[in-house]
Amino acid sequence: MGPGRSPLRGLLRGLALTALAAVLAACGGNAGGTTPTASTSKKVTVTLSTDLTDPIPGTNMLPWQGVWIPAFEKAHPNITVKVVGGSSGSTDQALYDRVVAAEQAHQAPPVDITDASILPQLAEAHEGLKLSSSEIPRMKEVDPALVSQDQSEAMPYRGSSVVLAYNTQYVHTPPRTLSGLISWIKGHPGKFSYNSPSTGGSGQGFVQAVVDQYVPHSDAATLETGYQPSVESSWQRGLNELHSLDGDIYQNGHYLSCNDQTLQLLGNGAIWMAPVWSDGASAAKASGLLPSSVHFATVTPAFPGGPADLMVLKGTPDRQAAFTLLNWMLSPTAQQLVAKYMQGYPGTEWRYAPASVRKEFKGIESNYAPFWSAKFTADLNAKWQSAVPQS
């Protein structure tokens, strides 16, 4: 090999030419992209951060990456959805911090769309774009009360509620009222449990329903959308009632540490009755984690339930693409996937939902109370911890 024909130099030259070509091509692409007609064919990427990081029970698919995004990208080949980061808990707080920091630095948000559980706080800080049916036509079909709950900065795309699961092997007639349930728990020591309210919505729903019994009606609206610590003085009776159940809970007062543990104990027969998420429990039943003898019922006053929301963050570079995804999530195709894989209630009002979906949830649909606002929920978690479990 002669000194003038070093393979390295050839490689470098090749790379330089490729880079130049790429730059030229990119410039050409940009020039075309500025005209409105070409924008439809331009590939855009929207980023999404999600709390749904567990595979759908019985499959190895993640809800976004495995189900919704492939279907969406098939319908909209010019939009790519990229999932970034995400997981609940501490990283939620990190997401919040990054969003606020980006806004203060006048930069684009770290992600375009999120379904994180910190969403209500983000809405409270007005970090989301106002959403309406003028940009997202299918939002007409969504219950306006649900949209206004988060300052119109969030769009419900699926729903679920906390229901009472009971194993018909041991329980033939489930209680129909909350007070009936409480006397059942006292009459069957060790056969009921719920996950501590900070570890999952199903336990939280039960705690909220019990405490809610003694909250004056006039405070109901404040609990749902506002925050005023003085309201909390009426919680004590409910918390005392929960504390009085302590000895009758599974293993003398062992509260489980996530929604899934509740399902496991129901599944292996250790407990006979428990509050569960309608979607998670139905999925567990479909995959065989819960035996077919486990049935679901609702009690009065009902356990809470509510929608899972999507938010488009302020300052998103391509809001049109984000709106397209949100609109698609309410389409019959997407809603059928929600019902099939997540056992979720529709994000739209029931009358707009596909007939197959309406049929599937006949009986338990719409029979739920709303969850409290994020700040009250946080306080309830803290108060439960110091009042209920026996030290």
Residues that bind other proteins (CB under 8 A): 89-90, 92-93, 96-97, 100-101, 121, 125, 196, 198-199, 251, 253-255, 257, 268-270, 374-375, 378-379, 381-382, 385-387, 389-391
Nearer to other proteins, 302 or 388 (CB): 388
Nearest approach, Cβ of residue 192 and other proteins (Å): 14
Nearest approach, Cβ of residue 254 and other proteins (Å): 5
If DSSP codes are grouped into helix, strand and coil, which group holds residue 295? Answer: strand
Nearer to other proteins, 94 or 220 (CB): 94
Q: Cα separation of 201 and 206, whole Å?
A: 9
Q: Cα separation of 215 and 304, whole Å?
A: 15
Nearer to other proteins, 184 or 255 (CB): 255
Contact 316, 159 (CB under 8 A): no
Nearest approach, Cβ of residue 355 and other proteins (Å): 40
The tokens of 302 are what?
A: 């009902």
Contact 189, 254 (CB under 8 A): no
Nearer to other proteins, 68 or 194 (CB): 194
**Residue found under tokens 């699961």:** 165
Nearer to other proteins, 239 or 299 (CB): 239
Nearer to other proteins, 286 or 387 (CB): 387
If DSSP codes are grouped into helix, strand and coil, which group holds residue 48? Answer: strand
| Residue 53 burial by Cβ neighbours in a 10 Å radius (0-12, 13-18, 19+) | middle
DSSP string across 113-153: EE--TTHHHHHHTT-BPP--TTTSGGGGGS-HHHHHHTTT-
Q: Cα separation of 254 and 249, whole Å?
A: 7
Nearest approach, Cβ of residue 228 and other proteins (Å): 12
Which residue type does 149 have? Answer: Q
Nearest approach, Cβ of residue 190 and other proteins (Å): 8
Nearest approach, Cβ of residue 276 and other proteins (Å): 19
Nearest approach, Cβ of residue 21 and other proteins (Å): 42
Nearest approach, Cβ of residue 188 and other proteins (Å): 15
Nearer to other proteins, 152 or 257 (CB): 257
Q: Cα separation of 387 and 236, whole Å?
A: 9
Nearer to other proteins, 196 or 343 (CB): 196
Query: What is the H or E stretch that residue 81 is in?
Result: strand 79-83
Residue 102 makes CB contacts below 8 A (sequence gap 6+) with: 108, 109, 110, 315
Contact 164, 297 (CB under 8 A): yes
